[in-house]
Structure formats: structure tokens, C-alpha cells
Amino acid sequence: MRRSFAAFLLSLVIPMLALAQDAHRVAIRAGRLIDGKSDKLIENALIVIEGEKIVSVTAGGSAPAGVEVIDLSKATVMPGFMDVHTHVMLNGDISAEEYDEQLLKESIPYRAILGARNAHIALSHGFTTLRDLETEGAMYADVDVKKAIANGEVPGPRMQVATRAMAPTGMYPLLGYSWELKVPTGVQYVDGTDGARKAVREQAMYGADWIKYYSDRRYHFEADNVLHSMVNFTDEEAKAIVDEAHRIGKKVAAHAIGSDGIAAALRAGVDTIEHGDGLTDALMDEMAKRGIYWVPTITVGLYVAPGRGGNWQRMADLQRENFTKAIKKGVKIALGTDAGGFDWKKLNEAKEFEYYVQYGMTPMQAIRSGTSVPAELLGWSEKVGTVEAGKWADIVAVSGDPLKDISEVENVKFVMKGGTVYKNELH
């Protein structure tokens, strides 16, 4: 009897304590607010935050009595940035040697430590959400990085992860080693429709939020001036991957660079096309019609082109043409950079915003491409992507005006995620 009474008392006290902690309120005074939703910049906005969430956003107004005010009155405030194509487990792979060394000479625990460091780098650049699109041989360690961040053990962005990705046997590195050696593979090799369904189930079991597969390889231009490619999976296999993923509530991202690979991925019913250099008018029209997202990863394309030679520069030029067309056709473009494909320490992935403006977006469109559009892609529109009442308080600020000079986004001075301030150089 006494025990149950004590338990009853505790059951009252614990939620009250939790409530008292959650109720911590702060306000941000924003000189200029780009909320990720409206076309207009809001001057002198007041954002009130309670616990992890935004409770109100008003133009002008004064903070409630007793609420601490973070003064960003000289800054431009935006929703936290989102990069929906990253590899936190990778640290540059311009050359095959660089890639092979990481898989052969670094243990998965070591790579996970660097992964946590890279996630922190992304956060300090203003990226409060990432979709990490495969571990490149580090198995399911992205799930662990995501978990450590979510548990508050290490600082980093919110994450959705794809774990291992898929390609058929022999169609993804490591390749070229003696058959006597058992070397790691960058992806999970998957063959046949049963194999495809099993691999989807296995990756989901170990924590994959997304399924990623390699639709193509061997990109080359033919006489028709179209970028072609060799398609990896049979249509039956690709459809089995997508069908099984959708059946269990997961979405699918396809690496697809050549027109043939993109067409095959669209036939299979994927949700996002990654890279997409070889898009044709007809493929873009289909994507616009079906609401399939394009994640262009221009930063990595331009970063690797000079060093790789071959067709890479021509592919980057084609992508630029296609980007401008895709905006006009209304293709949904979500910001993704392929960070990890370039060294996290050498390049700020926010560079991607600058390319979008160079390629024809307005600065406001580019900012939405890296905030509210990817929020929709992730199925998190109710939670992130805009500075609005009810959303998680994921907020960044720069000292200048990115609508006048988009490169300002490469100089984030303030980062808040879920109401916690991780960086503030605007004191």
C-alpha cells in the first residue's frame, strides 16, 4: 500500500520536473528573418522558444518578461540548413587509392569516430539536419553516430541514414584485388529479387531510414550528345528493392548519373535521384510530373572534375545546363552536396547554395532548397525546415544578407538545434 502511494507521488512529481525543465524559454531578436516559407524577409522578428520548440514568431513585439533574449538584431536568421546527400564515414575519395585506403587501413570504430567529428563539422557550418547516404564499407556505423547525437552524447545534426547501400555483385569497389583476398565492399552486394527484398529487410532491421542503391556506372557520351550509362540492376531487381522498401515504410534514393540509369530508377519508382547529371528533357518532365526529387550534388562534381579528367568536366557542364532547365520545369531540387566525397575539413558544404544561385535560382529559392524542400523530402515538414511556431528550434544566423550575397551562408555565426545553442559568434 505504502509503496504504491509512493509510486503514485513519484508519478506526479516526475512529469512536473520534466515540465519545469522543458518550459525553459528563450527569445531570439532577429534583425532580418528568412523563415523558409514566405517570399519576404521579416524585419526585426521575435522568435520565442520553449524547450526544444518554437512557440511564436512575430514581426516586432517584445519578449515576455523574464525571458532571456539572444540578440541577433544585426544578423540574418534562417532555418537550420539541411544537406540530404552526405557521407559522414568518408573523408574524400577523389582517387581510388584514397577510397581503398580508408576501407582497408581504417577500422570501422576509427571511421565512426571521424564520422562523429564530421557530423560536428556539419553542425558548425549550420547544417542541423543530414540525410547520410551510405557508409561506404563502414557497415551500420551511421546508425551509431545518429544514435550518439540523438542521445546528446556528441554534438551533431539530426540524421536519417541509409546504412550500406546496394549494388549487384562486382559492380562497386573494392575491386581489382587478388581473388584470394577477402576485401571489404563499399556497398552490400545484392542479386536477384529475393536477395533484394532480403537486403532491404536486413538494412531496415539494423536501422536504415532510407534504402539507397546504385542504378548505374560507366558514364559516357554517345553520338547523340546524351550522357549514357550502364545500368546495374535488372528492372525486376530494382523494382523489388523499391517495392519492398515502400512496403515497410522506407523511401528509396538512387545514385543515377547517366540517362539510362536515371530512366531505370524512375521505372523502378524511386523517391530521389542522386547526382542526375545526364537528365534529359523527357526525364525532367517525368520527375516534375511525379514529384520526384533531384539532389544534384554540384559541389562534389566541381570538386572532383579537375582532378579526375576524362568526362567529368563535360558532365559538370551538362549538369549546369540541366539545372537551369529543371528550375523552369518545376523539378523539386533538394540540396545535397556529397560531403565526404570531398574532405569535410577542406570545404564547407554550404558552397552548394552558391552554385544554385550561379545556376539560376534566386537566393530565396536556393535557401528553400536547403531548408523547407529537403524537410519535405525527409517527411519532416511538420518538424523542421522553417522558422515557425510548433517546429523544432533549429535556427542559424549570418552577419550579412544572403539575399544580396549568397556566399554569406558559408559563414554561419550562430547555430541552435532543438533550442540548444551550439555556436554563437555574434555576441
What residue ranges bind Zn ion (CB under 5 A)?
338
Residue nearest to Zn ion as judged by C-beta position: 338
Backbone angles phi, psi at 284, to 5 degrees: -65, -40
- What interhelical angle do 298-308 and 351-358 show, nearest 10? 90
Which residue lies nearer to Zn ion by CB, 199 or 339?
339
Minimum Å distance from CB 8 to Zn ion?
Answer: 54
Residue 216 or 338 with smaller CB distance to Zn ion: 338
Q: Which is nearer to Zn ion, 42 or 143 (CB)?
A: 143
Question: Least Å distance between CB 275 and Zn ion?
Answer: 8
* Sheet strand arrangement including 127-132: 81-86, 127-132, 158-161
CA-to-CA dists, residue 291 to 118, 136, 153, 269, 359, angstroms: 31, 28, 37, 11, 21
Neighbour count for residue 63 (Cβ, 10 Å): 17
Q: Which is nearer to Zn ion, 156 or 301 (CB)?
A: 301
Minimum separation from the CB atom of position 136 to Zn ion (A): 8
- DSSP 8-state secondary structure symbol assigned to residue 408: G
Closest approach of Zn ion to the CB of residue 133, in Å: 5
Cα–Cα distance measured from residue 417 to residue 427, given in angstroms and rounded to the nearest whole number: 18
Provide the sign of the torsion angle of the four alpha carbons 157, 409, 319, 98, taken in this order. Answer: negative
CB of 238 to Zn ion, least distance (A): 18
Name the minimum Å distance from CB 277 to Zn ion.
13
3-state DSSP assignment of residue 275:
strand
Cis check: omega of the bond before 174, within 30 degrees of 0 = yes
Residue closer to Zn ion by CB (options 338, 408) is: 338
Residue 36 or 301 having the CB closest to Zn ion: 301
Residue 13: CB atoms within 10 Å? 10
